[in-house]
């Protein structure tokens, strides 16, 4: 095992544990994450594997295959983040609106009429 493999494995496992801990216990999310960790670890340990897979798909290099996979994953992750942000926007709007409605001040119309009369 060359040093880079050891370092990458440790990093991947570390990140994986970190995110699993922080994620809400959604089975699907965890499953995806677990698969991601395992797959990446396998590729790190058996680099020749990526070349073989790449050839199966008709891509030249293993690195290219990993790059494409990574690109897809990034797009997926960005969409998830975007959806979360939108959901937060929605919830924040509800909260702000509720606060505004609860602290509404009604006009003191009688007072105003009287003072307007005396102004004239």
Partner 1 sequence: MNESNWEYDKRRTFVVIPAFNEGRVIQDVLNEVILLGSPVVVVDDGSSDDTYRLAAELPVHLLRHPVNLGQGAALATGLQYALSEGAQIIVTFDADGQHLAEDIPYLVAPVAAGQVEVALGSRFLSSDFSDRPQPAIAAADAERGAGNAQDSGNPYTVSVARRILLKSAVIFTGMTEKIWLSDAHNGFRAFSANAARQIKLTQNRMAHATEIVSEIARLKLSYIEVPVRIRYTQYSRLKGQRASDAVNIIIELLEMLFTGEEHAR
**Contact status, residue 43 vs residue 69, Cβ threshold 8 Å:** no
Residue 38 or residue 96: which is nearer to partner 1 going by CB?
96
Binding mask 98-117 for partner 1 (x = CB under 8 A): -xxx-xxxxxxx-xxx----
Least Å from the CB of residue 111 to partner 1: 7
78 contributes a contact to partner 1 by CB under 8 A: no
Residue 26 or residue 97: which is nearer to partner 1 going by CB?
97
For residue 17, what are the CA distances in angstroms to 10, 11, 20, 63, 106? 11, 10, 5, 26, 54
């Amino acid at each position: 095992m060359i040093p880079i493999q050891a370092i990458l494995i440790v990093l991947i496992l570390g990140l994986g544990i970190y995110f699993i801990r922080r994620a809400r216990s959604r089975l699907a999310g965890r499953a995806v994450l677990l698969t991601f960790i395992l797959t990446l670890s396998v590729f790190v340990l058996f680099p020749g594997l990526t070349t073989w897979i790449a050839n199966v798909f008709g891509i030249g290099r293993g690195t290219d295959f990993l790059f494409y996979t990574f690109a897809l994953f990034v797009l997926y992750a960005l969409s998830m983040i975007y959806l979360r942000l939108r959901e937060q926007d929605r919830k924040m709007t509800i909260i702000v609106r509720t606060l505004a409605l609860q602290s509404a001040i009604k006009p003191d119309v009688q007072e105003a009429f009287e003072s307007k009369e005396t102004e004239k």
